[in-house]
Amino acid sequence: MIGINSKEKLKQEIIAYVLLIVGSILFAVGDVMFVNPYLMAPGGTYGLSNVLNTVWPWKISLYAICMDVPLLLIGTWILGPKFGIKTIISTIVIFAATFVLESTWGYNPVLHDGEISKVAVDSMVPIPHNGGWFQPDYFLNTVVAGLIYGLAIGMIFRSGATSGGSDIISMILHKYTKISLGTLVMIVDGIITLSTLVAFGDIRLPIYSVIIIFIEGKVINLVVDGMKSYRTMFIVTDNIEPVRDYILNDIKRGATCITGTGLYKGTERKMIYVTLDRSDMLKLRSALHLIDPKAFVNIMESSEILGEGFRALPNE
């Protein structure tokens, strides 16, 4: 019989693979139906594939898989087997879903201001698709594309997979240059985004692509970290007991009392370390004004809080 822990682990694995598959399919939807029809390239191998697909027509999925597979092999050779089975599955599912969508749906946009005839081409600055033309709605499409991309990649990250693709290039460069990984990801994706300007000569395309990346990043954070916003407070006060009672009894949270020595006078002081959600932080901050107006308070945003009272520590 499977024990409770094994059952829970099996449940988490099933959820992880559901998130992985749904997120990968959703990524393909965002790319084929929203990003590609508007000739945008918000980073990654699929962003570059969108540009190549328009300049030299061939399926996006085929361009992408021709880049993803060598990158995975090179990345494994240089960086070691750190990508895992889930990243490989994600790569395959995105490829398959993209191939099916572009073979059935084509590259037609979902959001636009209507079909137009070729007679109006010069005056309306339309975008061609499948032999026809449409008048673009750049802003709405960009917002929706960013939301879909962010939700899709966030689900993939939550499943325990990585995005792979062009990120592998950044990881390899990071190993040899020691430039921060975040900076290298921005550089690589920035070059891919700017390729739309070189290919199509339209300054709007890289700008809208950057907006997609920005929205995508915000949504990824929401999906991965949740809606809750936490703050960590360091409180130095001479009225430790009233502050302690307020934290324990009024907002019903735990905290840690740390003893330290002030550098200026060498006086021993006590400091309270506590992590709260935004609403409780505001309550405590207001209470401190009444308890000890001279208290020293440092408030920092906390991106991830794990442990009792917050999110459980991961199994792996």
Kindly report, residue by residue over 274-305, the tens digit of the pLDDT. 988 877 888 888 888 888 888 888 988 876 66
112 pLDDT band, cuts 50/70/90, is: confident
At which residue do the structure tokens 């502050």 appear? 243
CB 42 within 8 A of CB 189: yes
CB 259 within 8 A of CB 270: yes
Mean pLDDT value of segment 106-124:
63
Lowest-confidence range among 55-64, 73-82, 240-249? 73-82
3 pLDDT higher than 50: no
Residues 65 and 79 in one domain: yes
- Does the residue 314 lie in any domain? no
- Residue 61 has a pLDDT of 93
Residues 238 and 218 in one domain: no
CB neighbour list of residue 18: distance below 8 Å, 6 or more residues apart: none
* Residues facing 41 on adjacent strands: none
Residues 250 and 127 in one domain: no
- Global pTM? 0.73
Per the structure block, which two tokens stand in for 271? 């400091």
- Does the residue 62 lie in any domain? yes
- Does the residue 310 lie in any domain? no
315 pLDDT band, cuts 50/70/90, is: low
| Separation of alpha carbons 87 and 24, rounded Å | 10
- Residue 100 has a pLDDT of 96
- Residue 295 has a pLDDT of 87
Question: What CATH number has the domain bearing residue 298?
Answer: 3.30.70.120
- Residue 24 has a pLDDT of 92
Which of the listed residues 225, 245, 273 is the one where a domain comes to its end?
Answer: 225
CB 247 within 8 A of CB 272: yes
Looking at the structure of the chain, the number of domains it has is 2
Residues 106 and 181 in one domain: yes
- Residue 128 has a pLDDT of 52
- Residue 132 has a pLDDT of 58
* Closest among 38, 179, 288 to 30, alpha carbons compared: 38
- Does the residue 45 lie in any domain? yes
Q: Report CA-CA distances (Å) from 24 to 27, 265, 306.
A: 5, 59, 27
Residues 269 and 162 in one domain: no
Residues 247 and 118 in one domain: no
* Residues facing 296 on adjacent strands: 236
- Residue 101 has a pLDDT of 94
Question: Greater confidence, 216 or 127?
Answer: 216
Residues 234 and 221 in one domain: no
Q: Is the sign of the CA dihedral 62, 52, 100, 207 positive or negative?
A: positive
Residues 209 and 98 in one domain: yes
Domain that holds residue 289: 230-302
- Does the residue 312 lie in any domain? no
Residues 285 and 137 in one domain: no
Q: Is the sign of the CA dihedral 113, 115, 117, 121 positive or negative?
A: positive
| Separation of alpha carbons 165 and 72, rounded Å | 7
Segment (H or E) for 270: strand 268-277
3-state class percentages of the chain: helix first, strand second, coil last, to nearest 5? 60, 15, 25
CB 160 within 8 A of CB 19: no
Which of the listed residues 225, 243, 270 is the one where a domain comes to its end?
Answer: 225
Lowest-confidence range among 41-50, 118-127, 272-281? 118-127
Question: Greater confidence, 7 or 244?
Answer: 244
- Does the residue 308 lie in any domain? no
Residues 141 and 275 in one domain: no
Is 212 buried (19+), middle (13-18) or exposed (0-12) by CB count in 10 A? buried
* Closest among 21, 16, 27 to 152, alpha carbons compared: 27
- Does the residue 311 lie in any domain? no
Which of the listed residues 225, 252, 283 is the one where a domain comes to its end?
Answer: 225
Residues 274 and 214 in one domain: no
Residues 66 and 111 in one domain: yes
- Does the residue 313 lie in any domain? no
